[in-house]
Amino acid sequence: MKDKAFNRAILIWTGLVYAFLFLPIAVIVFMSFNANKYGALPYAFTTRWYVKLFTEDGLLAAAGLSFGFSLAAAFTAMILGTVTALGMRPLTPSWRGRYRRFISLPVVIPWLVQATSILMILNFIGWGRSYIGMFLGNTAVITPYVVMLTLGRFSDADDNTENAARTLGARPVRVFFDVTLPKLVPGILSGALMAFIMCFNSFCIQYYLAPFGVRTLPIEIFTLVRSGYTPDMNALAAVMALAAAGVALLLNKMGYSGKKLMNM
Amino acid sequence: MNFSLRTKKGHCLLLPSAAFFFCLSLIPLSMLVVFSFLDGNLNSDGSFPGFTAANYVRMFSKTMFARLMGRSLLIGLTVTLICVALAYPTAWGIAKVVREKNRNMLVMLAIVPFFTSQLLLIYAMMVILQSRGFLMSLMGWLGAADPSGSILYSLPAVVVVLVYEYLPYMILCLYASLEGIPDDLVQASRAMGAGRLETFVNIILPLSMPGLLSGIMLVLIPATGSFVEPGLVGGSGGMMIGSLINSQFNTVLDMGYGSALSFVFLVCLSLIMFMIRALSVKANRAIGGMA
C-alpha cells in the first residue's frame, strides 16, 4: 500500500517534469494559430502566420541555405564517419577508447571555445570567415555522431557471418559489400540523419564562422529572437518542433532509442 | 584465424579522420595558447602584429574575469543540481513505474528537444516567462504576483532557461543506467528489511552513478560555457564568462584577449572534466562493470 502511494508520487512528478518540458512548445504551437500580432488574447484562429512564413523571403531563404549547407556537411560527415568507424574496428578496446575520445573532442568542448579556436586558425591561414571554414568547422562537430552510431553496429553482431562468407570463397571486397556494409547501413543512415539535424541547428559554429552578411537559419532566428515576440517565429518553431519529433520517431524506428543515443 | 579485410588495411582508414580532427580540433585548441599572447588582432594577411603578456596581466589584475568565472561555475552547478533533482525521480518513473508501452514514447519525447534548435527552446521559454505571458498571467490570476512583472532579463531567468534546455540530457542519461538495474536486486533488498532510503543509498545510487556522472558532464560543461542564454534573457546583471569571451570576438574585437580568456576557460573546464572522468572510472570499478 505504501509502495503504491510512492509510485503514484513518482508518476505525478514525472508528469510535472514532462509538462515543464513540453508546455512551452505547446503554447508556441497554440499561439502560432492566434491572429493577434502580440500574442494577446482573445484567441482568434488564423493560418496567416504560416502563409507569411512560406511566402515571405527572410526565413524561407535562410532555411533553404541551411538545408543545402547541412546536406553537404552531413554527407561529408557520413563518408568520413563511416571510413573512421571501419578503421577503428581492428583497434584494441583501449586504443579504440582513446581514439574515440580524440575525435569526440569537438562534441565535449564547449561550442564557444571550439568556434573561437577554429576562427582564430582560419584568420591565421588567411581564410577568415568563409563558406569553406564554416563547412569544415561544422563537419568537425557532427562527424563524431556518425562514427559512434556506425561503431555501435559492430557490437550488435559478431564477425561470424563475415568469416563464413570468406570461408565459402567470397573475396574480401565482396564480403565488404555483401555482408559488412548492409549490416552497417542503419547505423550510417541514422548517424547521417543526426549529423544533418545537428548541423541544421548549430548556431554557435555558424555564428562565428559564417561569412559576413550570410544568414543561415540559426543566425536569422537569433536576430529575430533578440527583437522579441514575432508571430511568424511561432509558426517556424511549430514546424521545426514537428520536424524534430519526426526525426526522433524515425531514429526510433531505425532502432535508436534515447537510451542508445545517450550511451554513445 | 581471421579472414576479413579489416585486419590488414584497417589502420589506413583512420588516416583521413586523424588528419581532419588534428587540423580542426587539436591544432586550433593548442594554437589558442599562442594566440592568447597576441597584441590585439591578427593582421589581415594572417601575420602577427606582436606578442605581449598584457592579456594575462589584464585578466588577472582586474576582478572581472574571476568574478564572471566564479559566477558561471556557480550557475553551471545550480543548473546541474536542479536538473539532477528534477530528473532522478522522472528517470526512475520512466524506467520502473510507467507501463512498458508508454516507456518508449516517453524516452522518445525526451529526445525531441535534442533535435530542436537551441534558439527555439530559448524563445519558447521567453514567451512563457515574458510579462503578461502565460506564467505571469497565471500568477496574476492566482494573486501571487503582478502580471506585468517578469523574471525575464535577470540571473534566475538564465538558470530557468538553461534547466529547460539541458534537463532532457540528464533524464536520458539517468534513465539509461536506472533501466539496467534488475528489479530482483531492489526487491531482495526490500525483502531483507532495508528501507526505501537504505535501498536507494546502497543499491540504486551506486548502480546509477555512471549515468549520473555522464549526465553531470553533459549539463555542467555546456551550461557553464553558455553565452547565448545570458545574452538573450540575462539582462545587464546576467553576464557570464561566455558573454565576455563572445564580446571580445563580436563587439570589442580584441581577439588576443578573447583567445586568452578562451584558453584559461578551457583549462578550468578540462580540470573539471578530468575530475568527473576519474570519478566515473572509480564508480564503474566499484560496481564491477554492472549497468
- CATH code of the domain containing A255: 1.10.3720.10
Total residue length of chain B = 291
* B14/A162 CB distance under 8 A: no
Residues of B in contact with A139 (CB under 8 A): 20, 24
Within a domain: residue A142?
yes
Assigned C-alpha cell, B69: 568565472
| Closest chain B residue by Cα to residue A225 | B123
Best CA proximity match to B115, nearest among A253, A196, A215, A254: A196
Residues of B in contact with A205 (CB under 8 A): none
- Count of CB atoms within 10 A of residue A163's CB? 16
* A112/B93 CB distance under 8 A: no
β-strand partners of A45? A34
Instruction: Say how far apart CA B205 and CA A123 lie, in whole Å.
Output: 48
**Nearest 5°: phi and psi at B176?**
-55, -40
pLDDT given at position B52: 81
Query: Residue B6 above 60 pLDDT?
Result: no
* A103/B273 CB distance under 8 A: no
Residue whose entry in the numeric block shows the C-alpha cell 564568462: B241
Within a domain: residue A6?
no
pLDDT given at position B163: 96
Interface test with B, best of A8, A16, A102, A120 (most B CBs within 10 A): A120
Q: How far is CA B179 from CA A15, B33, B95, B173, in A?
A: 18, 43, 5, 10
- Count of CB atoms within 10 A of residue A246's CB? 12
- Give the DSSP letter of residue B51: B
pLDDT given at position B192: 86
* A84/B171 CB distance under 8 A: no
- Count of CB atoms within 10 A of residue A100's CB? 17
* B128/A159 CB distance under 8 A: no
Instruction: Say how far apart CA B215 and CA B222 lie, in whole Å.
Output: 11
Cα-Cα-Cα-Cα torsion A242, A256, B223, B83, nearest 10 degrees, comes to 90
- A9 CB-near residues (< 8 Å, 6+ apart): none
Q: If you average pLDDT over every residue of chain B, what do you get?
A: 86
Report DSSP letters for A206-239, one per residue: HHHHSPTT---HHHHHHHHHHT---HHHHHHHHH
pLDDT given at position B267: 93
- B87 CB-near residues (< 8 Å, 6+ apart): A17, B167, B170, B171, B174, B215
Which of the four pLDDT bands, split at 50, 70 and 90, describes residue B264?
very high
Instruction: Say how far apart CA B198 and CA B274 lie, in whole Å.
Output: 30
C-alpha torsion sign, points A229, A235, A239, A245: positive
- Give the DSSP letter of residue B46: S
Instruction: Say how far apart CA A245 and CA B114 lie, in whole Å.
Output: 10
* A125/B46 CB distance under 8 A: yes
Within a domain: residue A67?
yes
Mean pLDDT of B166-189: 90
Within a domain: residue A23?
no
Instruction: Say how far apart CA A124 and CA A120 lie, in whole Å.
Output: 6
- Give the residue with greater pLDDT, B46 vs B285: B285
* Phi-psi map region of A54: left, alpha, beta (phi>0 left; psi -120 to 50 alpha): alpha
β-strand partners of B51? B38
* Phi-psi map region of A41: left, alpha, beta (phi>0 left; psi -120 to 50 alpha): beta
At B38 the three-state DSSP class reads: strand
The class of domain B52-286 in CATH terms is mainly alpha
* Structural domain range at position A107: 51-262
Q: How far is CA A109 from CA A115, A138, B201, B217, B263, in A?
A: 10, 14, 32, 11, 12
Total residue length of chain A = 264
**H or E element that contains B142:** helix B134-142
Interface test with A, best of B4, B44, B107, B129 (most A CBs within 10 A): B4
Nearest-CA distance A180 → chain B (Å):
10
* A11/B24 CB distance under 8 A: no
ipTM value:
0.88
- Buried b / exposed e over B261-283, threshold 16 CB at 10 Å, is bbbbbbebbeebeeebeebbeeb
pLDDT given at position A205: 93
* B17/A113 CB distance under 8 A: no
pLDDT given at position A259: 61
- B153 CB-near residues (< 8 Å, 6+ apart): B233, B234, B235, B236, B238
pLDDT given at position B3: 42
Report DSSP letters for B172-222, one per residue: HHHHHHHTTS-HHHHHHHHHTT--HHHHIIIIIHHHHHHHHHHHHHHHHHH
Within a domain: residue A124?
yes
Question: Whole-model pTM?
Answer: 0.90
Residues of A in contact with B171 (CB under 8 A): 17
Cα-Cα-Cα-Cα torsion B24, B30, B32, B37, nearest 10 degrees, comes to -150
Within a domain: residue A158?
yes
Instruction: Say how far apart CA A57 and CA A144 lie, in whole Å.
Output: 34
Report DSSP letters for A47-95, one per residue: -HHHHHHHHSHHHHHHHHHHHHHHHHHHHHHHHHHHHHHHHHTTS-HHH
**H or E element that contains A174:** helix A172-175
Chains A and B form CB pairs within 8 A to the count of: 287
Residue whose entry in the numeric block shows the C-alpha cell 575525435: A103
Assigned C-alpha cell, A44: 482568434
Instruction: Say how far apart CA A183 and CA B212 lie, in whole Å.
Output: 32
Within a domain: residue A26?
no
Best CA proximity match to A245, nearest among B94, B125, B110: B110
Count of the separate structural domains present in chain A: 1
Q: Where are the domains of chain B?
A: 52-286
Residue whose entry in the numeric block shows the C-alpha cell 536569422: A220
Query: What residues of chain A score a pLDDT lower than 50?
Result: 1
Residues of A in contact with B265 (CB under 8 A): 110, 113
Q: Which of A215-219, B232-236, B260-264 has the lowest mean pLDDT?
A: B232-236
